[in-house]
Chain A
Amino acid sequence: MRFERRENASAALTILAPVGAILAALVIAGVLIAIAGANVLEAYGLILQGAFGSRLGVTETLTRATPLILTGLAAAVAFRAKLWNIGGEGQFYMGALAVTAFGLVPGLAGAPAPVVILACLVVGALAGATLLLVPAALKLRFGVDEVVTTLLLNFVTVLFVSLMIEGALRDPLAFGWPQSVPVPDAAVLPQLIERSRLHAGLLIALGLAVAVWWVQSRTVFGMQARATGLNARAAAFAGVPLGRTLALVACLSGGLAGLAGAIEVMGVKGYVTTDLSPNYGYSGIVIAMLANLNPIGVIGAALFSAVMFVGADSMSRALGIPSYIADVTVALSLLTMLVALFLTQYRVRR
């Protein structure tokens, strides 16, 4: 068996790749479900029903998809320019923590809600961007591998959050639970649907996905960022300022991840704990890959992950299968997607 490079990867193949990858991941996960002793089709049926079968299910799925879209965009933007930002998780927490700290600014309570919300979103994005700018600067100045620095910063950040919510930002009314002060009422994102957790953050996330797509395909910065990722030497020859481009990409990527944290805390939780994120930052990487780094594709990939997570919860209650099957399926889909991407570029020969 050998691999030959495809002369021309067809458009249909590029679209079919993620679909095929997800199907393959579901088949493999099906084997695990069968081993756990349940009927595979019934289990998948229950997952779909859990995610879409009720008003609660749909709104929960969309609520869950909101931060995933943003962290997925964060990873997609960075990876396009070959800035390997593995630090989405840390930037997410930094954005969330910054919003609660910002809420303590005196006089904020009296300001009109739209102004407060906008200011909080900006603060969250800035916090995330700043956290990524440090490794980006180290990469540009000293050639430090950003995979290592961004990854390790995640642990540093989570510990820092822990320090703050047990110290300076601790909520005195939380009966000793380690959680931060709540965001001010004016900063809470409006609900989209009555009696659900679905909030306006979804609209922000969807709008940003379109905006990122537009920036990447239509603007000078977007083209330069893509050129930097595809071939830095040729980009430099064409006069692309590599350092400035990568710094801007870092701001955009870190900002999106920070925004995800800010929106989660302003829309769902209201305060920061160390379990605010069930690995949203890391899931963002999977989602970006699954979307083939396409910003619009990120929406679909985030929805897939959200369906699996929300659906698996209710499926596990009904069948007694651990809901970890959702993590396994999403993780498997990353692996199958990598294989699928390979197969869109190469064909297998005997």
Chain B
Amino acid sequence: MTRVLELDGITKRFGATLANDDISLHLERGEIVALLGENGAGKTTLMSILFGHYTADAGTVRVHGQTLPPGKSRAAIKAGVGMVHQHFALAGNLTVLENVMTGTEPLWRLRSDRAAARDRLAKLADRFGLPVDPDARIADLSVGECQRVEILKALYNEASVLILDEPTAVLTTQQAEQLFATLRDMAAKGLSIIFISHKLNEVMAASDRVVVLRGGRIVAERATRDTSKEELAELMVGHKVERPKRPPARPGAVLLEADDLHLSGRGGAPLNGVSFRLRAGETLGIIGVSGNGQTTLAGLVSGLYPPDQGALRIKGASLPRHDVPHAIAAGIGRIPEDRHAEGVLGDMETWENVILERLWSPDYARHGIIRRGAARAATERLLKDYDVRGARVNSRVRLLSGGNMQKLILGRVLEAGPSILIAAQPSRGLDEGAIAGVHRRLIEARDRGAGVLLISEDLDEVIALSDRIRAIAGGRLSPAIPAARANAQLLGLMMAGDWDAARKIEQEAEAADAL
């Protein structure tokens, strides 16, 4: 084996925090290394130093035995390092071919040699099994396809070392599996790959070697075949983490009833006739591949937009007006899919974020004037009760970690004692410790008697939390199966729109209930 990449004694300090503390790491030819760590462990910083986005305070980077000059991305690219960013660095208004070619030709050349480039791109796509249409506009592609383009862009620059920053954060389970199959294939053809992750499943499935980072240091290094999920979880978090267990449900009266909801897509896929019932004290999980209408469904039930057709009844009654204040007043608590874009306003203060969605309530405003004292007191309580770390009543929430931001949102929602809880992708992007906390709160809410509508793309999460599971596909809901009967294969079929097995199980379950 030949060593293609060596990081030696990398140290980087941001103000008072030591993001990387004397990290040394190497990569062999044809090897896939997973860089595992919680949010804030220093993974992305390390890779940014390697790629020349940051300059290290100390330490060197060697590629193929040559030391890279610090802080020069161009040198890293030239040495054969390719980076696939978590948030793609692609121009949406250009085609695939144009994106791939960008930066590969000298500026002062008058003609750009598209024919040759197209040829080369086609060969690369073929060789590594990454099919794309070179003339498609990036804006029209799905996230999975965009990622393929990012990888092709790196390969086009003759990358021999590929770095992927949380490559599955935007992918569905199926897309992720496909990506890892491709990566293994690429490694077999001689490429060396580092991927950053905090998901244990994919680390176990896709890597040859795992490097675990915690608090800016390497705490362990294991050959993947010699370790286990449990060991890695403990190494990553520093102590044992257990996701909470779900006691059996005691379903009560129907709280939320959707009857043949239709809604043309508002920035998402449309709903084509969605019906379901949610009872008190149960969790209904809705699983699906993204882009099948779950965002639209969550928005509709959250009060953002009324259905074009069909009815949504809360405790038997329709909302007097289908808008957010009426939905909240009717007892709906909402955890949005995208914390940063919808959940909080990063540049507003904590107390403002806590009361913004309850400004209509006399608790927080009278005669159009905000009751700042009451708002601050409530926020103070909430920060303590929900253990939101790093937040003060008057500080901006932008700097909170994902986990603490989610705690703030959970606190704001649960403090109001909602009878219906809409949780859309509640643990997306969170680390193990934070996920366990979110799950515990959701189970508590259910046990208190709330109906929980869990909309998620994470199989494990849906199976762990739900009492009944439906899949969403093409804007329609599958029959509901009891969680006890769920497995990955059955859910896979349901997500793909094949509902025969699920229908049989639903009928069995109903027959059993009737007895």
A28 to chain B, nearest CB (A): 31
Interface residues of A (CB under 8 A from B): 2, 7-8, 218-221, 223-224, 226-227, 230-231, 233-241
B406 to chain A, nearest CB (A): 15
The answer to whether B344 has its CB under 8 Å from any CB of chain A is yes
The answer to whether B132 has its CB under 8 Å from any CB of chain A is no
Option from B325, B341, B348, B370 in Cβ contact (under 8 Å) with A219: B370
Known interface pairs A223-B356, A223-B359, A223-B370; A231-B324 also in contact (CB < 8 Å): no
Known interface pairs A236-B304, A238-B357; A231-B370 also in contact (CB < 8 Å): no
Docked Cα-Cα span, A226 to B370, in Å, equals 14
Interface residues of B (CB under 8 A from A): 14-15, 71, 302-304, 323-325, 328, 334, 336, 341-348, 352, 356-357, 359-360, 365, 368-370, 372, 399
Docked Cα-Cα span, A120 to B214, in Å, equals 68
Q: A220-B369, A234-B342 are in contact. List 7 more A-B contacts (CB 8 A).
A: A7-B15, A221-B368, A223-B352, A227-B356, A237-B304, A237-B357, A240-B356
The answer on a CB contact under 8 Å between A237 and B348 is no
The answer on a CB contact under 8 Å between A239 and B341 is no
Docked Cα-Cα span, A239 to B355, in Å, equals 11
Docked Cα-Cα span, A223 to B355, in Å, equals 10
In the A-B complex, the 9 residue pairs with the smallest Cβ-Cβ separation, listed nearest first, are A239-B324, A238-B357, A237-B342, A238-B356, A239-B325, A220-B359, A220-B365, A230-B345, A231-B345
The residue on A at minimum CB distance from B357 is A238
Known interface pairs A7-B399, A8-B399, A220-B369; A234-B323 also in contact (CB < 8 Å): no
The answer on a CB contact under 8 Å between A237 and B323 is no
B425 to chain A, nearest CB (A): 14
Docked Cα-Cα span, A208 to B375, in Å, equals 27
The residue on A at minimum CB distance from B339 is A234
B97 to chain A, nearest CB (A): 30
What are the residues of chain A within 8 A of B334 when measuring CB–CB? 237
What are the residues of chain A within 8 A of B347 when measuring CB–CB? 230-231
Docked Cα-Cα span, A237 to B448, in Å, equals 26
Output the residue of A219, A227, A237, A241 with the most chain B CB within 10 A. A237
Option from B348, B365, B370 in Cβ contact (under 8 Å) with A227: B348
What are the residues of chain B within 8 A of A237 when measuring CB–CB? 302, 304, 324, 334, 336, 342-343, 357
B283 to chain A, nearest CB (A): 22
What are the residues of chain B within 8 A of A224 when measuring CB–CB? 356, 359
The residue on A at minimum CB distance from B324 is A239
The answer on a CB contact under 8 Å between B344 and A234 is yes
The residue on B at minimum CB distance from A240 is B356
Known interface pairs A218-B370, A218-B372, A219-B369; A233-B357 also in contact (CB < 8 Å): no
